[in-house]
Structure 1
Amino acid sequence: MHLIVLIFGIVLLPEAYPLKCHKCLPGSSGTCTDTEVQCPSPSYQCGALKITSFAGDSKLSDVRMKICVLADQCVEGSVNFGIARHIITSKCCTSELCNTEPAPEPSSSSPNGKRCYHCDGLKCSATLNCAGNEDHCISKTVTAGGKKTITKGCASKQICSNTQNPQIKALIGEEISCCQGDFCNSASSTSAGLLLLVAPLISLAMFS
């Protein structure tokens, strides 16, 4: 009797279908129009993401998008290389076409007591005060013109633990290493310029 009940229970379970979500990827003009797409599998959610980049107090760019995302792609964090700081915010949901609202604006953040090295000129021995939830030190290798240079700074745990996230990979690249503890990211090596730090933002418009 129990076996029959179990069989009927399995047969009558509702089948999980992929969600439909709004999709909006910015073009060269920086604007986009919502379209409806079906996510690749039921494990995806609907998401709205926002990547805001600053040089000091000046905003460099503000990239917004809506896409199907996996749960670990709903990231809230920042990476700060001293010369440029990138903040990711997101808003994810699990019902049909629920990602109508944009991701929230980044909240203001103040120094949190953590300190890392960052690159200033040709040396990477300058001190950077981490802010907000930046609790790791980060080192990033940039290759340009066949030459490798290194830049350093502060990063949030979610940035360091989600390096395969396509948004994070496009933002900071693949050759990164993170560590915990003040000044754990070593003071040696030369730095990358602002252009090399900001150039990956161009690829953010290419997500699918």
Structure 2
Amino acid sequence: MHLLTLICGIVLLSKAHTLRCYECVLGVSATCQDKAIECPLAGQQCAALRLTSYAGGFELPEVKSKSCALAQECGDGSINFGITKIVINSKCCNSDLCNVQFAPVPSKSIPNGKKCFQCNGQNCTATLNCEGTEDHCITTKGTAGGASITLKGCASKLVCAPESTTMAGTAGAETSCCQGNYCNSASSASSTSAGLLLLVAPLVSLVALS
């Protein structure tokens, strides 16, 4: 009886600490109608996310969304392969339905002094100057159009979580991060954030088809 009471208490306590947040995704041609949802996990915050992508120096249509997020998924960051780049801008808050506004447009980033290898075709010895919050080097290996492809570049801590894992993305991409100038000369096991690194898979396909 006491065990049943304890279990019910834990369930009710967890339920009491979940937030209600707006959820929607606004893509290239979609309209975004906010829907109030209850976050599935205690400790999640309400979040607004903006993804700005660049390919060959051109800005692609951005994607904006609202949902629930863990604290470590909140903040600004980017994944930079030189020819392609995704800038992640996310804002989180801790009260019910507080994510009314989308995340703001990211500010222009400037070189920060860190350097990583980048790939030009099959040659992965070129230097890429990291920008803004990009404090890690990143390596992504996958397949696109039946061909193997490797991308190297810079990434922010937001993308490279502290856990030591290797993540397989939706396009079969395996991604690893490391710290230190030019540390991505070879694939080194390191950090991934599963939710954010799913964004790498579309970049692999984009570079392969360009």
Fold shared per TM-score above 0.5: yes
Partner Cα separation in structure 1 for residue 179 and residue 97 of structure 2: 39
Match of 2:203 in 1: 197
Q: Deviations over 1:43-98 (max 9, x none)?
A: 22111011111125421131100001111221311110011011111111111111
Change (3 A) 1:92 1:196: closer
Change (3 A) 1:162 1:143: farther
Identity, % of aligned pairs?
51
Change (3 A) 1:174 1:71: farther
Match of 1:176 in 2: 175
Counterparts of 1:9-48 in structure 2 under 5 Å? 16-26=16-26, 29-48=29-48
Residue 117 of structure 2 aligns with an amino acid whose one-letter code is: Y
Counterparts of 1:1-208 in structure 2 under 5 Å? 16-26=16-26, 29-161=29-161, 175-186=174-185, 197=203, 199=205
Residue 112 of structure 2 aligns with an amino acid whose one-letter code is: N
Change (3 A) 1:137 1:55: same
Residue 186 of structure 1 aligns with an amino acid whose one-letter code is: S
More strand by share: 2
Partner Cα separation in structure 2 for residue 22 and residue 37 of structure 1: 6
Decide whether the 8 Å contact of 1:23 with 1:35 is kept in 2: yes
Across the two proteins, how many residue pairs are aligned to each other? 180
Decide whether the 8 Å contact of 1:77 with 1:87 is kept in 2: yes
* Secondary structure at the counterpart of residue 108 of structure 1: coil
Partner Cα separation in structure 1 for residue 56 and residue 186 of structure 2: 22
- Could you state the TM-score of these two structures normalised by the residue count of structure 1? 0.74
* Secondary structure at the counterpart of residue 100 of structure 2: coil
* Secondary structure at the counterpart of residue 160 of structure 1: coil
Decide whether the 8 Å contact of 1:76 with 1:89 is kept in 2: yes
User: 1:171 offset after TM fit, Å?
Assistant: 9.1
Decide whether the 8 Å contact of 1:141 with 1:148 is kept in 2: yes
Report runs of 4+ in structure 1 exceeding 4 Å deviation. Answer: 168-174
Change (3 A) 1:179 1:172: farther
Decide whether the 8 Å contact of 1:140 with 1:175 is kept in 2: yes
- Could you state the TM-score of these two structures normalised by the residue count of structure 2? 0.74
Q: Deviations over 1:78-136 (max 9, x none)?
A: 11001101111111111111100111211111111111111112211111111101111
Change (3 A) 1:172 1:138: farther
RMSD: 3.2
The structure that has the greater radius of gyration is 1
